[in-house]
Chain A
């Protein structure tokens, strides 16, 4: 499966229309066949980054399905929808992602809700990392081994869990680049993370924060809140 990841710079005055276009337009238009499903519709939480940014992630069955979907947008039944959505945003920056071996996300497209059912919002910390030159594979191996083990060991008071792990597909974004979708479980712990310095023991040799510096020191975290109707929550 491929994942179409889009960052939309939405026109503030049209944010509601934009959301409707995805809920009543994109989500339902994709439900007509088995090629793709909208998985997440996420607001970049105001106060934590740029204004009026929405992240959407769409699951796509495979390369052939993606080509069909791109054709629908370029010259098929989704042309008018794309034109309407364009009028509600400044632009969109997109990329295609491939799941890493340790990604836990297992979703069958046929099982993804397409009816806009409501739920409580959830918060995600989406981390995008740019490994050092020539270190991409080592970083991915270490993240799959050390980092996931570290998060697992904190299960009693888990701050976050990895829901999905991706690398950017060649020719469809930046390389090397790794993206983790991490669900936030503990809001008070998130506040502590934001308001206190990193404990010394977490910066010592043998810790992930220390040892992973060999592979990368550039990343960006986004705090993303699901819409109340986002198919995955």
Chain B
């Protein structure tokens, strides 16, 4: 399964029209066949990064379905929709992602993804994108052994987040080396601690051990705090 990850630089005065175009357009147009489904519609939280950025992630069945979808957008029945959305944003940067071997999210049953725009409470994700200096496969394994397994073993009351997915870029669609973590924040109090209290990491005890050892693999990453819309199929 492939995951189309898009970062939209939205025209501020059109942000509501843009969201409506995805809720009433993309979400429902994709429901006409079994090739793809919108999974997440996420607003980059104002105050934590660049303004008027929206991240969407769309699951696509396979490479042939991806090619069909691209054809619909560029010269098929989605061209008018694409043209209208193009007028509501400055640009969009897309990449195709594939799950790494240990990612909790591997396949999505497209038939079960909601397409009716039903509303729910909001949730917050921390999306981390890392660019390793070490070989990419070593970095991905390091994330598994030193981060994912420890986070999963943590008592719920100490968990700040839940790792829902880990991706790498499908060859030829963006930067290499790069890997991405999609993490749902489950404790806003702990998030506040993380942001507001300087941490002294003990290199011999996790998570300090992870932070110190991590420097062997990377020192460049970017975190985004992304808030789901009320109708985002996944939240």
Interface residues of chain A, those whose CB is within 8 Å of chain B, are: 2, 4-6, 58, 60, 62-70, 73-75, 79, 82-83, 86-87, 91-96, 98, 130, 133-134, 136-137, 167, 169-176
Q: List residues 70-101 of chain B with CB under 8 A from any CB of chain A.
A: 70, 73-74, 79, 82-83, 86-87, 89-96, 98, 101
Smallest CB gap from A58: residue in B: B172
**Assuming A86-B136, A167-B74, is B63 touching A93 (CB within 8 A)?**
no
Q: List 19 A-B contacts (CB under 8 A).
A: A4-B171, A62-B63, A63-B63, A63-B65, A64-B63, A66-B63, A67-B62, A70-B96, A73-B171, A82-B176, A86-B135, A86-B176, A94-B174, A95-B172, A95-B174, A134-B86, A171-B5, A172-B95, A176-B86
**Interface residues as binary, B156-175 with A (CB distance below 8 Å gives 1, 0 otherwise):** 00000000000011111111
A64 contacts B173, C-beta separation under 8 Å: no
Report which of B62, B94, B135 forms a contact with A171, defined as CB distance below 8 A.
Answer: B94
A192 to B5, CA, bound (A): 43
B64 contacts A63, C-beta separation under 8 Å: yes
A91 contacts B95, C-beta separation under 8 Å: no
A98 contacts B62, C-beta separation under 8 Å: no
**Interface residues as binary, B38-76 with A (CB distance below 8 Å gives 1, 0 otherwise):** 000000000000000000001010111111111001100
A68 to B171, CA, bound (A): 10
- The distance from the CB of B69 to the nearest CB of chain A, in whole angstroms, is 7
Smallest CB gap from B66: residue in A: A63
B70 contacts A170, C-beta separation under 8 Å: yes
Cβ of B131 within 8 Å of any chain A Cβ, yes or no, is: yes
Smallest CB gap from B36: residue in A: A171
Cβ of B25 within 8 Å of any chain A Cβ, yes or no, is: no
Cβ of B114 within 8 Å of any chain A Cβ, yes or no, is: no
A68 to B86, CA, bound (A): 31
A25 to B66, CA, bound (A): 28
B173 contacts A95, C-beta separation under 8 Å: yes
Smallest CB gap from B135: residue in A: A83
A70 contacts B93, C-beta separation under 8 Å: no
Smallest CB gap from B86: residue in A: A134
Residues of A within 8 A of B4 (CB): 170-171
B63 contacts A96, C-beta separation under 8 Å: no
Report which of A67, A83, A91 forms a contact with B66, defined as CB distance below 8 A.
Answer: A67
Smallest CB gap from B78: residue in A: A170
Q: List residues 150-200 of chain B with CB under 8 A from any CB of chain A.
A: 168-177
Smallest CB gap from A79: residue in B: B137
Cβ of B124 within 8 Å of any chain A Cβ, yes or no, is: no
**Assuming A63-B65, A86-B177, A171-B96, is B172 touching A70 (CB within 8 A)?**
yes
Q: Which of A58, A63, A87, A174 is the most central at the interface, judged by chain B CB atoms within 10 Å of its CB? A: A63
- The distance from the CB of B216 to the nearest CB of chain A, in whole angstroms, is 16
Smallest CB gap from B71: residue in A: A98
A66 to B98, CA, bound (A): 13
Cβ of B6 within 8 Å of any chain A Cβ, yes or no, is: yes
Cβ of B106 within 8 Å of any chain A Cβ, yes or no, is: no
Query: Beyond A83-B136, A94-B172, A170-B73: 17 further Cβ-contacts under 8 Å?
Result: A62-B63, A63-B65, A66-B63, A66-B66, A67-B62, A68-B63, A70-B98, A74-B168, A83-B135, A86-B176, A91-B177, A95-B172, A96-B173, A133-B91, A170-B70, A171-B6, A171-B58
